Chains A and B, each alone.
Chain A
Amino acid sequence: EDQVTQSPEALRLQEGESSSLNCSYTVSGLRGLFWYRQDPGKGPEFLFTLYSAGEEKEKERLKATLTKKESFLHITAPKPEDSATYLCAVQAGGYSTLTFGKGTMLLVSP
């Protein structure tokens, strides 16, 4: 069974204080690892897809990396508007369904 574990469950940062979120996974035949951002009361919003170990993708203050067992979402000099829950998901085998982790709730204080 595919498993996705995210840590920490919650993270509080000061504005400008960089940090990383972790997503570790156990799947048979990883086809893609996805990062989403979810604001309260809204649907998840797509951020990145990573496919192979060593791959990196960036968007503004966010950078996602992938190894064979985990992915990191690095947040550089975060701002209060980066506060949200960040979800990690995996696509495995020949399926298009995604298995999600429980997310990391990020709060950035001014």
Chain B
Amino acid sequence: DSGVTQTPKHLITATGQRVTLRCSPRSGDLSVYWYQQSLDQGLQFLIQYYNGEERAKGNILERFSAQQFPDLHSELNLSSLELGDSALYFCASTGDLTNYGYTFGSGTRLTVV
């Protein structure tokens, strides 16, 4: 157990639907990062939050949004889902990036049918 908790582990939904992925960072970590991993693209950075505020944005589609709550857990909302959104979605947190890098959760596997 890495200390970063992601739920659900698996999600199957239909095109056009909306889903919410949840992440609880490791205790004490203020930064949360969301990544998408697909077979052809590898790990792609979506968005970062630090202590409740958006800090950096990557290749995140307008149909996707995220937030970080006062208790530091984060949610990634994916709407108007398309087949191509099927992927593994990882959350990571960090306290000491220099010495320990990111700590990743075990991911949510999203399948859009």
Q: Which A positions have Cβ atoms within 8 angstroms of B?
A: 32, 34, 36, 41-46, 49, 87, 89, 91, 95-103
Main secondary structure of the interface of B (DSSP, over half): strand
On whether the beta carbons of A44 and B104 are closer than 8 Å, the reply is yes
Contacts of A96 in B (CB 8 A): 31, 48, 55-56, 94, 97
With beta carbons under 8 angstroms apart, the residue of A42, A45, A89, A103 that contacts B107 is: A42
Interface string of B42-59 (1 = CB under 8 A from A): 111100100000011010
Main secondary structure of the interface of A (DSSP, over half): strand
On whether the beta carbons of A34 and B56 are closer than 8 Å, the reply is no
Contacts of A95 in B (CB 8 A): 56
On whether the beta carbons of A43 and B90 are closer than 8 Å, the reply is yes
The complex places the Cα of A31 from the Cα of B31 at a distance, in Å, of: 18
The complex places the Cα of A36 from the Cα of B58 at a distance, in Å, of: 20
Within 8 A of A (CB), among B79-111: 90, 92, 94, 97-107, 109
Among B2, B105, B109, chain A packs the most CB atoms within 10 A around the CB of B2
The complex places the Cα of A75 from the Cα of B65 at a distance, in Å, of: 40
Contacts of B58 in A (CB 8 A): 97
The complex places the Cα of A45 from the Cα of B107 at a distance, in Å, of: 12
